Every structure is written in structure tokens, then in C-alpha cells.
Structure 1
Amino acid sequence: MSTATNTVSGQTNASAATDCDAVVVGAGLAGLHQLYRLRRLGLNVVAFEASDGVGGVWHHNRYPGARVDSHFPHYQYWFSRDLWEESEWTERFPAQPEIEAYLNHACDKFGLREHIRFNTKVTAAHYDEASGTWTVSTDDGKSLTTRFLVLNSGGLSAPRQSPFPGAGTFRGVSCHTASWPKDGVELAGKRVGVIGTAATGIQVIQTIAPIVSHLSVFQRTPNFAVPMKNPKITPEQNSAAQADFERLRGVVHNTFGGFAYEGEPPMFDDTDEAERQARLEELWAAGTLQIWGGAFADAFANAEASHYVTEFVRAKIRARINDPKLADKLLPTDHYFGSRRVPLETGYFETYNRDNVELVDLREEPIVSIDAAGINTATRHIDLDVIIYATGFEAGVGAINRIAITGRDHRSLRDEWNKALRTTVGMQVHGFPNLFMTMAPFAPASALCNLPVCADHQVDWIGDAIAYVHTNGKTSIEPSAETEAAWMAHHVEVSEPTMLGSNKNSWYRHKREDGSIGELIAYAGGIPQYRETCDAMVASGFKGFIVR
């Protein structure tokens, strides 16, 4: 047993003894940083990781073609210059093995592995108001008590399982992209079906099409995508980025989405037709995500600008598909470009020009069931050797809701969120003292941010809040109901009127247990506005929070 000690001020919190000061759930990109930050505060921290290794999504998502869509040098930790200067990247958009190796290196460099309990899933957490402690239970039947509970379980880490009857009867190989076997899956010469055409599905489809005998792509919702330009990174480029660390760090933390682009985007109405075309052509050729939200300063808020960019992208995609009727099926018509996540792709649309690739439009012939030999649609049976589920995740809240969390007065977080999803700056919830989270709804990190940048800020804010409780000899901290309501009102004000709010069919919207469409989880106010609010909370001594 240990009593929580504030090594920053030398004071000791005289409240109930605990097994540890803090529990961190998850050892992915944010979880490792959180563990590092809390250890730097001098806290006794235990981290739980459900898998057998670190890396989170980069440990599980080993599917063919898996790579990041944040371009060099943005997708790496910003809290350590030493680590930055040790990192030698090989591609502009690194693939899964390179990122997983990087996160393992960071874990070992900072001595974090010994504080992580692997192959252990947190199943429940109960807050005891009398002692001000959390009891955290795990799937091995054990439990421990802690003062602080930090959920770094990931916004896209709870995969959606097959909703189709008979999935368990399939005699071939079936797997979800988010739990890809370490030894891989034999695909060469096989009849393969891929269900899902969002970011992950696109990467899988374009990668395996040349090696399988036949590929059936089951598409429910067509998606926009932008060509990825992925050259090798030279030693000189690595050195230049390392030398530019301080400037880049200052820039990315004050941009809308965590990327340092040259120049500010113009307002749509401040450009003429020639300027608009030239700008879009330049951004399209750049091969990054800059065209998404960065084509014009008001691209998310100005319907005319959104329509203009959307038509430009549609024309670019249509020109790459040989069959006009097929192009009609592959081109979205029910949402603006950028109102759903925009993937990067490499020859994805040309994949459908291949003789061995077939598009199954689920809006015309939905999947009815799966049997031992393959998939039954409403009109036919498709024989398959392999079924790949690229069906996405329970975004934003899925991983958190898989833990039975009860706060003050036996409140169930899962039940409360099913009625009305809410957070305060995406990091705390009223009624759940000393419970923190990253990548939760209503913060840039939930959807519209280069994660290492947004996680950097959230991890530090959580560390500051915990340090504040210790320094002042207090027991707990949580937002007041008024503070939470004010944040939710602000979120609705800046996010719902945008093009993101216009699209009711994307993972940016919360899906309730009954299947109904709920809140827009993507915060569209941008990093600077978000940081200003969060930093003001710290500077004010957490005014508007209940600190006991």
C-alpha cells in the first residue's frame, strides 16, 4: 500500500491509502505519453494493456497496406527533443511496422515497460465517494485501488464486429483489420471479400488486389479519397527536421489540425475562379491531407466553398475510373468532401479497372447472411476463401463504454452517455471525480487532429490537473455541471453549423445503443481555441471545477 504523495510540493495527501496513485488504461501512443508524464510527477503509476505489446492501434492493425495518413515529420512525439533527434524515418507516410517500432523504442527509452501489465483488460471501475478512490477491476479477477484513473484507451480501438447472421459458420478465414494476426493471412490466389470502404478498407483493397485471384468489395457508403504522395525520406530531410524541432513544435500546437503547412489558406470569396482552380490543383498534387479543410479558410463553414471543393474532387476521381456506371457508384453524392474522414490512397480508384475486382453495392444488394462457403446478398451467393471485415470502430466512446464505470451516487457512465453524450473539453465528465480521458468526444483529438499534437496537450492538461490536486492537498477534481454545460454549448455552437454537422452518416456522430443518431463528437473549433480554453482552466486554478 502507498499513500499518494505530491513530489512537486513535498506535501502528502492525507486521505485514504491506495495501491497506487494513478492507473493508466492503454499503452498506445497517448497511453505511453500519459504514463511518462505521471511518472515524471513522481507518482506510483500502474498501466494496463489488454494486448501483449505496446502501440495500441499500431500493434493490432497489421493488415496489408496499413500506414499513417499524417505526413513526415508530424506523426511523432513532441515532448522530447532527445527522442526526436534519435528518430530516423524512411517514408513520408510511415507504414505500421515503422510506427510500432518507434513506439516500442520510446517505451524502452523512458523505462515505461516495467510499469505496464500486459494481457490484462480493465473490465470495471467504481468510485467510492467516502474515500475518494477508484477500485479498478481486471479480467484476471484482480482489483486495485487508486486515486486517479486515466483512460487512454483510444477513440478508434473498439472494432465493430460482424452484424451479419451466420458469420461464425464460415469455413474459410475471416478476420477484422483491427485484430489482424501477427503471422498474417495467406491471400495470394484466394477469393477474397472485403466488407467496408472507409480509410482502412481502402488501404487493404488497393494493396491486395494485385495478388488475389478475385476480390469482391462490399461497399455501403462510397468515400472521397485523396492521392497519397509517399516518397522516401532522405538522411538530409531527417536532419533538417531534427534541427527544426523547436520551430515546428511551436507552429503545430497553434494550427487548426496539428500540421505545419506553408502559408495561410485564403477565404473562398477572396479568390477568383483561376486562383481557386490553381490552389486546388496544387493541393491535389501535394499528396497530403492539406486539401481537407485547408483549401480555403472557410471550407468547413461556407457551403459554397464546400460545394466547389467537392465538385473538384469528384471530377478528379471520375477521370480515373474507366466505367462511367461504376464511377457513379464509387462517387459520394450524399455528403460534402471533408464531412466524413478523408483517407489518402494509392491507386485505389484504378483498382476497380482490374478484371479481378468486383464492386458489390450494398445499397442495391445488401448482405443477408454469411454461410460456410461465402456471403449471401439479396440477389446471389458469392463464394469466398477469405472474408476481411473493415467495418470500423465504435468511435469515440466504444473502448470507454466496454468498461463498467460507476461514479458518484452509483452513476453508470455508459447509461448516462447513452441518454446524452457529454464531456468537459473531452477530458472529464461531471459526476466522475478524478476520471480523465484522452481522444474522447468534443475535443480536437476526437477526430480532427494529428493525434501526437493533440494528445500532447491533453496529456499535459491531465498531468496539470492531477498535480493541482496534489499540490493543494486535495482529494479529487471534477467539472461542475455548469462548466460542462457551457463547454457542450460552445461545442454545438462551433461544430454543428459546419459541413461536419450537415452529415448525419459518419463516425463523427455518436451512434446510440438503439441505433439512433446522436451528438456530433468531432470538435470543429480548432486547436488554438481549444488550447486557450483548457489553458485558462489551469491558469484560473480550475475555476468552475469541484475540487475537494
Structure 2
Amino acid sequence: MSQESSIEPVLDALVLGAGFAGLHALYRLRENGLKVLALEAAPDVGGAWYWNRYPGARCDVESLVYCYTFSPLLDEGWQWSERYAKRDEIQAYLSWVANKLDLRRDIRFNSRVVSAVFDDRKNLWTIRTEQGDTYRARHFFSAAGPITTPIMPDIPGLKDFKGLVIHTARWPERSPDFAGKRVAIIGTGSSAVQAIPIVAEQCKQLTVLMRTPNFYAPARNRPLTAADYEWWEKNRELTRHRLQNCLRWGGGDIMLDDAINDAMFQKAGEFTPERRREIYEARYANGGGVVGWAFCDAMADPEVNEEAANFLRGKIGTIVTNPRIAEKLTPRGYAYGTKRCTVGTDFYETFNRDNVELIDIKSEPIERFTPEGVVVGGREIKLDVLISASGFDALTGALTSIDLRGTSSESLKEGWAHGPHSHLGISVHGFPNLYMVGGPGSPSVLTNVVMTNEMQVEWIAALISHCEKQGFRRCEATREAEEQWTRHVNDLVKGTLWEHANSWYVGANVPGKPRVILAYVGGYLTYRERCEQERSQGYPGFSFS
């Protein structure tokens, strides 16, 4: 029996996803009096945090600010155990939120959306799931998340490999036993950096297949203490205010000395070289991916960026004892920040282990897989397990993987074939009553995602309320506004180091994907101000009917 039989034939709104943004959207729209459901592909809440359960998975944003702020109810009754929360704790937090706000009754789990089509005559979305269920809704709210569509490497013979193959973003609930196993991991991005030290401790032999070394900083993770929470009670509102008003990219560490933190609002040239070194050292000692964001011109001035990059490069040889391996791990040829800075524990130290081999696959390419292993640089490496930490079709993949069609016969995937376009990263012309959180053209992955999601959810909910109050049945970005915003997003990159990025930030990790900046690089504060301006002026970038 279709799930539709147990609900009203037409919903006011349907939310795609039950992660951070989806749970908030479900709550807010329901509180605003709408009849709303959420569809979630997983059997439980969590979004990306449900699927990414690989060893060592944890957030690289501090727990105290990687949580909701939209309801005072959620500031009470939950305490994080560590400075950087593990995946299991984050998923448990989201489960706790869903229970506390009574959200589960309006979530349909195990419901993977495969198509969404807008009826131009009835002004309704028809959404179908892989299970064959059909839903109809006036508003379609995508909270699918920016990193929900994993990609596998396209390597000859991979299907012939007889061993176990796992993607970090689709890790089995019961983690494999690596004892006595020969394991290879493809990638040295964020997921791999967290998994590699733990897998190396468990397995007989670990081969790390690295294409491009990333900038890395230690997390300095630790348990949170009673003193930490005493500090948090006194400084919570001030800290949130600071984060909401961060001028550019990155952000400050919430417990750093104010003088060190506040330097990020100034240019590097306002400090002596000695003082800059002290600031870098203080950030590195405190931990987290914040070293390169020490000054506000880090992504505009190549010399400033290179100074921060050289600081991090200089740390590698102090940890990795083999100079040849240390040099392999040293990132060169691109600016800090144009690839995501990785954060972890004992990553570099792991390459001092006897059972770990690092292979630079640019100099020794992966030729093919065999039933017994992988051929690299002309030699076969015998394997029992292959772990792919090969990343995601970021920001766009969650929607282009769905047959999503608006007022024309052209799908969203076809419309974005030469690069995504949107207004405010929220609305797409030709797709009425479709709203995106964390979509292309919004700050998304370049900020604290939870904070940006909250702002977008509240903004979209206000837009939908505006439609309801005015009796509008249809709302979409105008073509002019979409063109202006997309041009603005691309213009912001010009003259900055983002212009030369070659990473998943520009889709470079997906073969055939157009290389354009996917996220808004103007900073959270500027983005929020542009959205507030749109609302205060009566939504001039939207057409209503």
C-alpha cells in the first residue's frame, strides 16, 4: 500500500531529507501551520551523518557551535562529550532533536526520491520514491545536503576485484574486522585523514593511494569539561554573535584568545612577521582547520596565503621521520583554502608506522584492479579490502541525481549541464515553489554549515509564509535575478585565489562536471545581508502569481 494513502492527498510542503536542515525545515514549516512531511532515504535521521560512519568519522567544526540555535528548548538537555564530536554522537543528537520536537511522526524513512515533476496547470509538485510511493505538494523544500552523493573512482578492473569494496560514505553498520587484512585506501581528503590512523592500527598492511596531498592541521581533540561548560554558559550568546558576524571565509576558534581570534578581521600586513608567526603558532597549538584563516586577506593576497601554507608545510617534517615520505605529503602547486583543509588526529604520525605505505599515484598511476589486488606503477599489490574515500558530487549531485523537472521538459540536470545557476542559491528560474538549502550559489560548505542552514531555512520559511498570506500559489526566481546572482557569484572569484581552484569546490573531482565555483565565496555575513535586503524590499528577485 502506498504511504500516500495514510496522508492527505496534497501537502502544503514536502521536505527532502532529515539531516540538520531537513529537521529544522520540518519543524519551522509545521510551526507556521503548514501540512508538511519529510522524506528520508535512510532508515533514521541524520542525513550525511547517518551514512558517514567510517572509522574515525567526526566533525571538524567544534561541537558547541555545530548544533541548532533556533529553539531555546535545544540549548537545554544536551551536552557534547568532546570538543569535536564523533559521528555517532552527532547522529544521536539529531535523533534526540527529532524526539524532543516530535518530528518523527512527519518523516517517512526508507524513502529515496527518484523524481519530482511540477504540474504547470495545478501548481503542484509530484514526488515519487524508489519504493513506488507518490506524494503531491505545493512547495518542494530540498534539504538534501551538499555532500550526499558519493562517487566511486573509475578504474579498469574494479568490478573484477574479489575483495571487499567500501565507500567511506556508505560504510556498513557493522564495521569490517581489519585484523590480519591487507587494506588500501584511495584518497587523502577529510574522510581518509580521519580513517587512515584507525585502520592502520587494526590491519596487517595499509596502502594509501594519494593523488594530491592536502593541507592538514591536528584537531587537538579532547573531552569537554565542567569548566568548558561553565565558560560556554557565560559566552554562548557572544560566541554565536561573533560567528554570525564573521566577515569572510573560515572562522575563529571559539576558545582562542580574543587577540588571536580578532586578527582575522585585519590584514596580515598590519602585523610584524614575528607577530604573524605567533598567531599561526597559537592557532596550530589550539587545533582545528583555522591556521590559514588567521587574516582577512588570506584568499586575496597570494603572499599572505603562501606564508600560512609554508607554516603548515614546515610542520610535516617535524612529525614524519622519513624525509622522502614527508615530501610526498607536502601540498604544493595550489593555494591554501582552494581545497578543504583536513583536520584529524595522528594522521602524519601514521606514516611512521612499518605497516603503512604511501604511494603517490601521480608518479605511480593506478593501472588496473585484478581479482587479487591493484596494479600500481607496474607492480601488483595484493589486497583483501579496498576503501574508497573518493568524495562526492558536491552541492549539485543531490538534485541532479533526481529526475527533477519544472515548467519545461528540460530537467535540472540538463539545465545545469554548463554550470549551476540560481538566485541566492535558493531558487531556480523555471522551477516554481522549489527551494534549496545548501545549494550552489550559497555559502554552504565554506562556512559552518549548520549556521548557514539555519539562516536559509528561516529565510525560505518566511518566503513561503509570504506566499501563503498573499494567496500566491506560485513563487520562482525571475530569470533576470538568477542571471544577476549567478554572475555575482562568479565575479566574486575573480582576482582571488579561488579563481585557480582545482578541487571539489569547483566540481573538478567529477569527470565531465563543468568547472565553476559551486559555493558563494563572499562570506556568510555578506550573503545574509543580501538575503535580508531581498526580503526587506519585498522579494524583487521573485515572481509571484
Say whether the fold is shared (TM-score over 0.5).
yes
Q: Retained in 1: the 8 A contact 2:419–2:514? A: no
Query: Aligned-pair distance for 1:410?
Result: 2.1
- Distance in 2, matches of 1:210 and 1:501, equals 40
* 2:14 alignment partner in structure 1: 23
Does 1:119 find its partner at 2:116?
no
Does 1:356 find its partner at 2:347?
no
* 1:533 alignment partner in structure 2: 530
- Distance in 1, matches of 2:152 and 2:484, equals 36
* 2:276 alignment partner in structure 1: 276
- Distance in 1, matches of 2:409 and 2:184, equals 45
Q: Of 495, 498, 518, which aligns to 1:497?
A: 495
Does 1:71 find its partner at 2:69?
no
Unaligned stretches of 5+ residues in structure 2: 1-7
Q: Which amino acid aligns with 2:290?
A: Q
* Map 1:78-477 → 2, pairs under 5 A: 78-255=69-246, 256=248, 257=250, 261=254, 262=258, 263-265=262-264, 266-293=266-293, 295-445=294-444, 447-477=445-475
Larger mean CA deviation between 356-365 and 319-328 belongs to 319-328
TM-score (norm 2): 0.94
RMSD of Structure 2 on Structure 1 (CA): 1.7
Q: Retained in 2: the 8 A contact 1:18–1:147? A: no
Are residues 267 and 512 of structure 1, via their aligned partners in 2, closer, same or farther at CA, if it must alter by over 3 Å?
closer
Query: Aligned-pair distance for 1:45?
Result: 0.8
- Distance in 2, matches of 1:517 and 1:351, equals 36
* 1:34 alignment partner in structure 2: 25
**Identity value in percent:** 36
Secondary structure of the residue that 1:521 maps to in structure 2?
coil
- List per-residue Cα deviations over 1:92-151 (Å, max 9, x = no partner): 001111111000000111111111111111101111111111111111222121100011
- Distance in 1, matches of 2:93 and 2:432, equals 34
Q: Which amino acid aligns with 2:484?
A: A
Query: Aligned-pair distance for 1:443?
Result: 1.1
- Distance in 2, matches of 1:197 and 1:422, equals 30
Secondary structure of the residue that 1:520 maps to in structure 2?
coil
Q: Which amino acid aligns with 2:45?
A: V
- Distance in 1, matches of 2:408 and 2:337, equals 41
Larger mean CA deviation between 49-58 and 238-247 belongs to 238-247
Are residues 157 and 514 of structure 1, via their aligned partners in 2, closer, same or farther at CA, if it must alter by over 3 Å?
closer
Does 1:524 find its partner at 2:515?
no
Secondary structure of the residue that 1:24 maps to in structure 2?
strand
Q: Which amino acid aligns with 1:339?
A: T
Q: Retained in 2: the 8 A contact 1:74–1:259? A: no
Are residues 276 and 239 of structure 1, via their aligned partners in 2, closer, same or farther at CA, if it must alter by over 3 Å?
closer
Q: Which amino acid aligns with 2:495?
A: P
Q: Which amino acid aligns with 1:449?
A: T
Query: Aligned-pair distance for 1:495?
Result: 2.6
* 1:13 alignment partner in structure 2: none
Secondary structure of the residue that 2:325 maps to in structure 1?
helix
- Distance in 1, matches of 2:536 and 2:362, equals 52
Larger mean CA deviation between 255-264 and 136-145 belongs to 255-264
- List per-residue Cα deviations over 1:353-380 (Å, max 9, x = no partner): 1111001111122222222211122411
- List per-residue Cα deviations over 1:248-287 (Å, max 9, x = no partner): 3333222244656532423111122111111111111110
Q: Which amino acid aligns with 2:370?
A: D
- Distance in 2, matches of 1:113 and 1:235, equals 32
- Distance in 2, matches of 1:224 and 1:71, equals 19
Query: Aligned-pair distance for 1:394?
Result: 0.5
Query: Aligned-pair distance for 1:512?
Result: 9.5
- List per-residue Cα deviations over 1:319-360 (Å, max 9, x = no partner): 222222222211111111222100112121121111110011
Q: Retained in 2: the 8 A contact 1:367–1:376? A: yes
Query: Aligned-pair distance for 1:28?
Result: 0.9
Query: Aligned-pair distance for 1:511?
Result: 4.7
Query: Aligned-pair distance for 1:414?
Result: 0.5
Query: Aligned-pair distance for 1:514?
Result: 5.7
Q: Retained in 2: the 8 A contact 1:340–1:500? A: no
Unaligned stretches of 5+ residues in structure 1: 1-16
- List per-residue Cα deviations over 1:395-416 (Å, max 9, x = no partner): 1111111111111122311001
Q: Which amino acid aligns with 2:121?
A: A
Q: Which amino acid aligns with 1:465?
A: L
- List per-residue Cα deviations over 1:163-182 (Å, max 9, x = no partner): 12222332222111101111
Q: Retained in 2: the 8 A contact 1:224–1:337? A: yes
- Distance in 1, matches of 2:386 and 2:510, equals 26
Query: Aligned-pair distance for 1:85?
Result: 2.0
